[in-house]
């Protein structure tokens, strides 16, 4: 059974050469990129962050030939991980398996988040052998709660169980190293089903279960009842369960997210974003303020990364001038803290 699963989060400590190049004033390639290849979803989750800002349109998808060329460029420049998430359901793209396979054969870590419904047994052999890790959103532990939150088809909870069971069986049969996790965004509409979800997770023998609170559109933590904490404490007894305790405000605690504990946002140099149209963005800041620095329809990735436009946009965002807003949705807070410590005058070298 796999217990050590490094899914998401900061990875800069593994790339001291990249940090050294950046400190020397160079422009090293990003380590990871988060890509939204489809601006649409087969579900309509009530807590979905991207849809707070822009309704989905699943007809908008990444151009296949263009993205395959991007993968070549990203790898050639030193990129390491491609994460399909951001907004939308990546498995709805008709050429998703081609993307995974091409990136895998290049030597990239190919990873994705999904609701798991499109991961049918027929598609599993075309995806799992080429995937480093995958995380599945399961926001209800029983069929009624799941349907209330995900707002998909009435039998999707059953289909999800079947798909995950098939995926785990395929992994076992073929001794694949792919890591498979679940995540439950836990709040007032679904917390009572957490025990059932925990049972489902343990029965399936997934590698990791992440439990966190929802974040509201204004960037505040969702208020929770005190009754939820015994459920969270019980779940946390399983060493494979990661409860994001800081996201659940207790009685008397502020529902405001804490202010950014970093001064500069230099983490964007090492992790970047792309939407379905091929536009490159610094981070989730683009949800509320333009943060684009180029588009692969007009220039190749290397030219964009070395452009004056990229330098200017990154200089603006890195300064932390609007961190009071963007810190609410920050993807690189761990990297920012790591870099701040690493570059402090008294930091060990």
How far is CA 248 from its chain centroid? 20
How far apart CA 40 and CA 100 sit, in angstroms, is: 19
- Taking only the tens of pLDDT, the chain with its 349 residues reads 344 545 666 678 899 999 999 999 999 999 999 999 998 888 888 877 655 445 556 668 999 999 999 999 999 999 999 999 978 899 999 999 999 999 999 999 999 999 999 999 999 999 999 999 999 999 999 999 999 999 999 999 999 999 999 999 999 999 999 999 999 999 999 999 999 999 999 999 999 999 999 987 666 788 999 999 999 999 999 999 999 999 999 988 887 777 677 889 999 999 999 999 999 999 877 667 788 999 999 999 999 999 999 999 999 999 988 877 777 667 888 898 899 887 765 555 4
The CA radius of gyration of the chain, in Å to the nearest whole number, is 20
**Spatial CB neighbours of 272, under 8 Å, sequence gap ≥ 6:** 30, 32, 33, 34, 280, 281, 282, 283
Question: In the chain, where are the structural domains located?
Answer: 272-349
- Tell me how far apart the alpha carbons of residues 191 and 226 are, in angstroms, rounded to a whole number: 11
């Amino acid at each position: 059974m796999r217990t050590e699963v490094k899914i998401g989060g900061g990875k800069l400590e593994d790339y001291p050469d990249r940090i050294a190049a950046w400190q020397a004033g160079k422009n090293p390639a990003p380590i990871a990129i988060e890509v939204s290849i489809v601006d649409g979803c087969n579900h309509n989750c009530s807590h979905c962050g991207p849809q707070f800002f822009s309704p989905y349109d699943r007809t908008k998808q990444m151009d296949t030939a263009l993205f395959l060329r991007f993968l070549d460029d990203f790898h050639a420049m030193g990129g390491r991980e491609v994460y399909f998430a951001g907004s939308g359901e990546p498995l709805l793209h008709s050429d998703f398996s081609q993307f995974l396979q091409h990136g895998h054969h290049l030597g990239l870590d190919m990873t994705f988040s999904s609701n798991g419904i499109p991961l049918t047994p027929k598609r599993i052999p075309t995806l799992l052998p080429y995937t480093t890790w995958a995380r599945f959103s399961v926001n209800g532990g029983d069929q009624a709660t799941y349907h209330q939150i995900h707002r998909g088809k009435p039998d999707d909870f059953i289909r999800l169980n079947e798909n995950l069971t098939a995926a785990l069986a395929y992994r076992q049969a073929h001794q694949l190293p792919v890591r498979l996790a679940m995540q439950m965004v836990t709040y007032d509409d679904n917390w009572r089903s957490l025990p059932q979800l925990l049972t489902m997770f343990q029965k399936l023998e997934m590698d990791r279960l992440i439990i966190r609170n929802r974040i509201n559109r204004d960037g505040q933590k969702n208020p929770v009842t005190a009754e939820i904490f015994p459920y969270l404490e019980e779940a946390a007894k399983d060493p494979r369960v990661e409860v994001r305790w800081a996201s659940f405000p207790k009685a008397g605690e502020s529902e405001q997210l804490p202010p950014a504990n970093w001064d500069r946002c230099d983490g964007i140099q090492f992790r970047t974003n792309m939407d379905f149209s091929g536009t490159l963005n610094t981070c989730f800041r683009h949800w509320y303020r333009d943060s684009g620095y180029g588009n692969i329809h007009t220039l190749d990735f290397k030219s964009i990364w070395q452009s004056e436009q990229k330098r200017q946009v990154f200089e603006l965002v890195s300064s932390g001038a609007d961190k009071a807003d963007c810190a609410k949705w920050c993807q690189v807070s761990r990297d920012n803290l790591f870099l701040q410590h690493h570059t402090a005058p008294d930091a060990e070298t």
